[in-house]
Each structure stands twice: as C-alpha cells, then as structure tokens.
Amino acid sequence: MTLILTRSTLRTLLADATEDVADAVARAHRDLALGRAVLPAPPVMAVPDSDGAFLAMAAASAPDGLATVKLLADLPGNRARGLPAQRSTVLVADTDTGACLALLDGAEITRVRTAAATAVATRALARPDAATLGLVGTGPLARAHARALLPGGPYEQVVLWGRTPEHAQALATWIGAELGVPAKVLPDPRAVTEAADVLCTLTPSRAPLVRGAWLSPGQHLNAVGAPPRPDHRELDTEAVVRSTVVVDAYDTARAKSGDVLLPFAEGALREDDFRRELGDVLTGRAPGRTSRDEITLFNSVGVGLQDLAVARLLIDLARQRGVGTEVDLTG
C-alpha cells in the first residue's frame, strides 16, 4: 500500500516537530559525509519556449531504507496566474523491495527542511554570542526560519526587511506575539545586514540584495532564497569572497547555485573555495568557524536528501497516529 499525505496532514504532523526535523536533517548530512547516503546532482529540464524548469531531486539512504525523488517545478510565470512559482511532489520507495511507500505534497516539506538546514548550519557556524537575527524577505520561508531559529536560541531581537511594508510589519508582529522575541522592520537590506549577527536571505531575487561592503567581522550568513538557477543570487561577489563558504552539497551547488557560480565565472572564486559541505563540518571532517572575526556563509541550495530525511520522519509519524490515505497503486 502507498501512503498519501496531503499538505494539510503534513502541516498537522509538523506542527510540533521542529527539533525532530532539524535532527533528521543533521543526521542526513552526516550520513552523506560518511558515505551512507547517495545524492546525485539533480538534472534541470528547461521547458522549450518557456522560462519554466523542472528538477528531479533524487536521493537514497541506507540508514533510512528509502529512495526518493522530488519533482520540483520552478515556474516564474505562475506568479501572474496567482499560483506558487514553485510546486513539488515527493515519491518515496523502499530500498529493499522497490515498493512505492508514500506520495507526499512537497511544499510544506521543502519549507521546513530548508529552515531546519539553516538552523543546523547556524548552530555549527555562527558565534555563540550572536544576539540579533536578520531576515531579508518576509514570505512563508521567513516564518519557517523564525520558527526554526528563535525558540531556545540566543537571539535578543530580530530585524527584518521585505519589499512589501505591510507584509514586513505583519511578520514582525507575528514574531513578537508567537515567538516572544522583539522584532522590528528596517528600511532596506543594508540596514538589516549591518545590524545582524546572523543574516538569512530568503527572497527569490535574481540580483544581489546584500553586498560585501556591508558585512562585519564575525557575522554568519545563510543564503537561502534564490531559485535553483545558476544566474540567480542574493549576495554579490564581494560578500561571497569575504566569507568562508559551506554548501549543503558540492555537486548540487556546482550545478545550480548562482551565489557561488557567478563569482566563480568572474574568476573571483575557485572551486576549492566552495567544496566544504555541511556534513563534513558536522562530522568534524572539515572545520567550521575558526576565529571570532571570520565571516561564515552557508550556501543553501536545498537537496533531495533533506526531503528524504523529513519524509522518513513524516511517514513514521503518520503510521503512529493513523493519519493519511492508503492506496493500492497495483490494484
């Protein structure tokens, strides 16, 4: 039987699982570093005569006993239709039998696993005395990041900016009321960058919003929001060059991360400058932060192994709670 989990069911299952998701994502990256998981670079299928593209984000894990593929549609034209620019579905198979175990809506999984990866990387790379969290972008991904980073964290305040002032103020109000941390809206990305100890960029920008000239010694950056396209980025070249770069997966970053590929194409960055993976830092195979004044950057493209780890967690939770719909695909 195949378990079908809809977005509303997933949202319910994930409501009280923030730390469990972070633990699952961290374990997945350690498994990748230790050779217990497989993560090929996803092929990008550009649709002819369109700005749309489809990515098949595959992964397999021996400890989890799963192989997964998330089909991600990146369709900028959807915005004019009032539809999400990105949509996805995750197919989950058993590595022993090949049976299709589950089919899950990908939107909620993508959002929470992305925020969880940021939280894991920030704990590994940021200074322990970081007190101000900065958010550039105010959409659902920003809310997910606030929920993943703030509870139990060291932050005394949040500063944020978004293109739509009403959305920015609504996010600041929600953070204060829901998460109990004071939050205020600043006038532009520069003000947020200069005020933040930890900065998350969470926009679908094509052009840089954060510049290296604005950075301060000791900051930690999470570049998260740019779509998986080699010509999209949120940070300028100077910001990347000034930073020690850690990627979620080198092969994926090398294929589709504009934040490192554009500086690389300009000759400002070498491949060795962005080979360090999060799993290597978590397992101690590579250093993370090495000094108080070092600027660190987690370049988060998003990988299928993160989807797999969260799918394993959700399938187990759904079975325990008796939720979801069972379908016999072979009938």
CATH no. for residue 28? 3.30.1780.10
Length, in residues, of the chain: 331
Give the separation between CA 41 and CA 39, rounded to whole angstroms.
7
Query: Looking at the structure, do residues 47 and 144 belong to the same domain, yes or no?
Result: no
Q: Are 236 and 212 contacting, i.e. CB atoms less than 8 angstroms apart?
A: yes
Q: What is the pLDDT of residue 46?
A: 87
Query: Looking at the structure, do residues 147 and 276 belong to the same domain, yes or no?
Result: yes
Q: What is the pLDDT of residue 202?
A: 97
Direct distance between the N- and C-terminal alpha carbons of the chain, in angstroms, rounded to an integer: 10
Query: Looking at the structure, do residues 65 and 37 belong to the same domain, yes or no?
Result: yes
Task: Tell whether 119 is covered by a domain.
Answer: no
Q: What angle do CA 199, 71, 106 make, to 5 degrees?
A: 60
Query: Looking at the structure, do residues 145 and 180 belong to the same domain, yes or no?
Result: yes
Question: If we measure between CA atoms, which residue out of 257, 251, 270 comes closest to residue 300?
Answer: 257
Query: Looking at the structure, do residues 13 and 153 belong to the same domain, yes or no?
Result: no
Q: What is the pLDDT of residue 49?
A: 86
Phi and psi (nearest 5°) for 254? -65, -25
How many domains is the chain partitioned into structurally? 2
Task: Tell whether 190 is covered by a domain.
Answer: yes
Q: What is the pLDDT of residue 50?
A: 86
pLDDT tens-place string over residues 115-146: 999 999 999 999 999 999 999 999 999 999 99
pTM (two decimals): 0.95
Residue 52 belongs to domain spanning: 2-109+305-327
Give per-10-residue mean pLDDT for the chain (331 aa).
97 95 98 98 88 93 98 90 91 98 97 98 97 97 97 95 97 97 98 98 93 98 89 95 97 92 94 96 97 98 97 98 95 81
Give the separation between CA 195 and CA 204, rounded to whole angstroms.
22
Q: What is the pLDDT of residue 84?
A: 87
CA 90 remoteness from chain centre: 16
H or E segment at 69? Answer: strand 66-74
Give the separation between CA 113 and CA 307, rounded to whole angstroms.
7
Query: Looking at the structure, do residues 187 and 58 belong to the same domain, yes or no?
Result: no
Q: What is the pLDDT of residue 2?
A: 97
Q: Are 15 and 330 contacting, i.e. CB atoms less than 8 angstroms apart?
A: no
